[in-house]
Amino acid sequence: MTAETQAALSLRGVRKSFGPVIAVAGIDLDIAAGKICGLIGPNGSGKSTLFDCCTGLVRPTAGQVLAGTTDITGWEMARIAREERLLRSFQKAVVFRALTAEENLILAGQMTAFRSLAATFSLGPLAHRRVQALRARAGELLERVGLAHMRHSKAGEMSFGQQKLLQFASMLMPEPRTILLDEPFAGINPVLIERIVENIRAVNREQGVTFVIVEHNIDVLSDLSHRLVVLSRGSILADGNPEDVIRDPRVVEAYLAG
Amino acid sequence: MLQNLFTDGLVIGSVYALVSVGMTVILGVLGQINFAHGEYYMAGAFAAWWAIDRLGLSYMASIPLTILIVGILSLAIGYAVMQRLVDVSFDAGIIATLGVSLLLQNTATLIFGGTYQIFDGGWLEPMRVFGEDIAQQRVLIFLVTLVVFGALEWLVRKSTFGKQMRAVSQNVECCHVLGVDVRRVVLITFILGTTLAALSGVMTAPITINIYGAMGEAITLKSFAVIVMGGMGSIGGTLVAGWVLGIMESLVAAYVGLQFRDAVAFALLVMVLMWRPSGFFSTKARY
């Protein structure tokens, strides 16, 4: 890392303990902008807590989290999403179940769109044009994730895998800079996994969106990622090129022992 | 006679609807019943009384001033209390809003005294509507209610803020993920809801004449009955439920006895909970 500006997300000595339990034991990590970074580790190694520290769900006991050059330590998740365009998904699918696929996406585009009070109660043709633009973009994204045929279906009626695809698409509506995915392939059939993988690659390549992905499916992840980081007991065990990392004897041992 | 009772009921029902719709939007967004809601109605009546009686303003001028005063009050309470009720248990919301209710009631009693004050304002000249003499103020209440409900429907359905309100009421977690400032939405909704209660208070005071610190209590409980009847979160449903309550009260007061009037809301509440627990307009009825 030559300059600060090249890191989309930086952790500086991030520690998190829950009482006597140390979940994250002082991690330093720079995620390069425009790259896909995989994060693996046995259960209880601190992956999810690290994600929570980055996205404001828990406050680190010590250390700093930076998005670009902005110190976001202690910010709330919504503010991080709104101001730094750093979004995060969960293992479960978080969507508006009562709304259609298209409505979900339009809503996602409107959530952060208007900042001023006047624009909040937006009036007239300007607002209408804006909704038209969002609808067009929603259509493109649904096409992209292969849900175009379900445009008018309620999210709650979709399969789990489709809901995850929809959630992925709605995270792209606010034009994110960085996306953190928490087990995007868990509970999803291989065909849909392939589709999500293709989409992550395409979004990364075309829009330069940085991805950090926590996943247990090491084969898929090491194939997708530019870099693989292995956590064990709250610390970084290995870090580097995916092919090298998965052959590292310490990593193999940690997984077998874990 | 019957027509008279009907128009009376419609006007009082409009007052109930105007207060209750604020409670229903707050419930929708925050998932909490605001048990201090009637206190903003009281605060509206007292703010206007103070402006007229102490500052010597006209009734007309007292209305925007009232909205401003109660708006600032609810900004403070919204910031200090209501914003913290996102994602907390329902019991915590009950305790917190009941606490606010006690605080506001007793503050009003401390400032304005424990006795009734006489509200001297409003347009009480009769005017002829459909062959009947009705005080102008009553016609005004009815018309303002229609305008407010039309504007609210538009706000919730069409504006970006309305979409955010609906998003927050559906799935707070999803809003956090997408970067919606949930607390800002809660705060604005709360100020909107409480100032509508205050508007209702200042509009109604010329008719009820007597105002006092505890006048909001009954309004809170009746509003609760109205929003349940209206289907908890339905704006149109709240309007119709308010009217039904007003008309029923008016009929019961005339034909059964005045002392039974305040029981109507609760009798209706019990009946709705027995037969149509999702409100008048829900397709789900219980047989």
Residues of B in contact with A180 (CB under 8 A): none
Locate the chain A residue with the closest alpha carbon to B160. Answer: A120
| % of chain B beyond a pLDDT of 90 | 70
Residue B281 counted as domain residue: no
Contacts of B161 in chain A (CB under 8 A): 120-121
Provide the shortest C-alpha distance from residue B178 to chain A (in Å): 6
- The superfamily (CATH) of domain A1-85+177-187+206-258 is P-loop containing nucleotide triphosphate hydrolases (3.40.50.300)
- Model confidence pLDDT, tens digit, residues A12-37: 999 999 988 999 999 999 999 999 99
Residue A65, min C-alpha distance to chain B (Å): 18
Structure tokens at B155: 């706000």
Cβ-contact A94, A167 below 8 angstroms: yes
Nearest CA in chain B to A55: B177
Nearest CA in chain A to B181: A78
What's the mean per-residue pLDDT of chain A?
A: 87
pLDDT of residue A51: 92
pLDDT at B285 over 80: no
Range of the domain at B198: 2-275
Most confident of A167-171, B38-42, B113-117: B38-42
Q: Where are the beta strands (DSSP E) in chain B?
A: 117-118, 126-129, 132-135, 210-211
Which of A78, A97, A121 has its CB closest to that of B180? A78
| Residue B244 C-alpha from the chain's centroid | 15
Q: Is residue B192 part of a domain?
A: yes
Inter-chain touch A78–B159, beta carbons under 8 Å? no
Give percent of chain B with pLDDT exceeding 70: 98
Angle among Cα B108, B113, B119 to the nearest 5 degrees reads: 80
Task: Specify the 3-state DSSP secondary structure of A131.
Answer: helix
Q: Where are the domains of chain A?
A: 1-85+177-187+206-258, 93-175
Q: Could you tell me which of A46, A49, A87, A47 has the C-alpha nearest to residue A67?
A: A87
Nearest CA distance, B177 vs chain A (angstrom): 6
Do the chains contact at B174 and A114, CB–CB below 8 Å? Answer: no
B182, closest residue in chain A (CA to CA): A78
- What residues of B are in contact with residue A78 (Cβ under 8 Å)? 175-176, 178-182
Residue A251: what pLDDT? 85
What token pair was written down for A236? 């970084």
Instruction: Report if residue B118 sits inside a domain.
Output: yes
Is B280 domain-assigned?
no
How confident is residue A112, by pLDDT bands cut at 50, 70 and 90? low
Picking from B178, B184, B186 by the largest number of A CB atoms within 10 A of its own CB, the best residue to mutate is B178
Query: What radius of gyration, in Å, describes the C-alpha atoms of chain B?
Result: 19
For residue A192, the model assigns a pLDDT of 87
What are the tens digits of pLDDT across the range B189-208?
999 999 999 999 999 999 99
Number of structural domains chain B divides into: 1
Residue range B241-271, pLDDT digits in tens: 999 999 999 999 999 999 999 999 999 999 9
- Token match 């059939």: residue? A189
Residue B142 has pLDDT above 90, yes or no: yes
Q: Give long-range contacts, CB 8 A cutoff, 24+ apart: A233-241.
A: A233/A25, A233/A44, A233/A45, A233/A46, A234/A22, A234/A23, A234/A24, A234/A25, A234/A27, A234/A45, A234/A46, A235/A25, A235/A26, A235/A27, A235/A46, A236/A27, A236/A29, A237/A41, A239/A29
Nearest CA in chain A to B174: A94
By Cβ distance, the residue of B155, B173, B179 closest to A111 is B179
Contact A82 B179 (CB under 8 A): yes
pLDDT tier, B213 (very low <50, low <70, confident <90, very high otherwise): very high
Cα gap A34→A94, rounded to integer Å = 25
- Does residue B163 lie within any of the structural domains? yes
The minimum CA-CA distance between A181 and chain B, rounded to whole Å, is: 12
| pLDDT of B181 | 87
Strands (E), chain A: 7-18, 21-32, 36-40, 62-67, 70-71, 86-88, 178-182, 210-214, 227-232, 235-240
**Contact at CB, B163 and A107, closer than 8 angstroms:** yes
Report chain A residues touching chain B, CB-CB < 8 A: 76-82, 87-90, 94-99, 107-108, 110-114, 119-123, 127, 170-171, 174
Report d(CA B244, CA B281) in Å as an integer: 13
Hey, are the CB atoms on B155 and A108 less than 8 Å from each other?
no
Residue A257's pLDDT band (boundaries 50, 70, 90)? low
Q: Do B159 and A121 touch (CB under 8 A)?
A: yes
Looking at A61-75, A128-142, B74-88, which range is the least confident one? A128-142
C-beta atoms of A99 and B160 within 8 A: no
pLDDT band at A114 (very low <50, low <70, confident <90, very high): very low
Least confident span in A122-126, B217-221, B239-243: A122-126
What residues of B are in contact with residue A107 (Cβ under 8 Å)?
163, 167, 178
pLDDT at A186 over 70: yes
The lowest-confidence range among A4-8, A121-125, B95-99 is A121-125
Residue bearing the bigger pLDDT, A125 or B279? B279
pLDDT tens digit sequence for B100-130:
999 999 999 999 988 899 999 889 888 888 8
Contact B167 A96 (CB under 8 A): yes
Q: Among partner residues B160, B170, B182, which is closest to A122 by beta-carbon distance?
A: B160
The pLDDT of A128-134, averaged and rounded, is 80
Is the pLDDT score of A253 beyond 90? no
Confidence category of residue B132, pLDDT binned at 50, 70, 90: confident
B123 is a domain residue: yes
Is residue B287 one of the residues assigned to a domain? no
Cβ contact, residue pair A81, B178, below 8 Å: yes
What are the beta bridge partners of residue A38? A213, A228
pLDDT digits (tens, 9 = 90+) for A227-246: 999 998 899 999 999 989 88
**What is the pLDDT at residue A62?**
93
Task: Determine, yes or no, domain membership for B69.
Answer: yes
Nearest-by-Cβ selection for B177 from A81, A99, A110: A81
Interface probe, candidates A75, A76, A111, chain B, greatest B C-beta count within 10 A: A111
**Lowest-pLDDT choice from B48-57, B142-151, B227-236:** B227-236
Confidence of residue A122 (pLDDT cuts 50, 70, 90): low
Q: What is the pLDDT of residue A3?
A: 46
Contacts B159 to A, Cβ<8 Å: 120-123, 127
% of chain A residues with pLDDT over 90: 55
CA-to-CA distance for A172 and A57, rounded, in angstroms? 21
Quote the minimal CA–CA distance from B57 to chain A in Å: 30
CATH number, domain with residue B96: 1.10.3470
pLDDT at A27: 92
Does residue B62 have a pLDDT over 90? yes
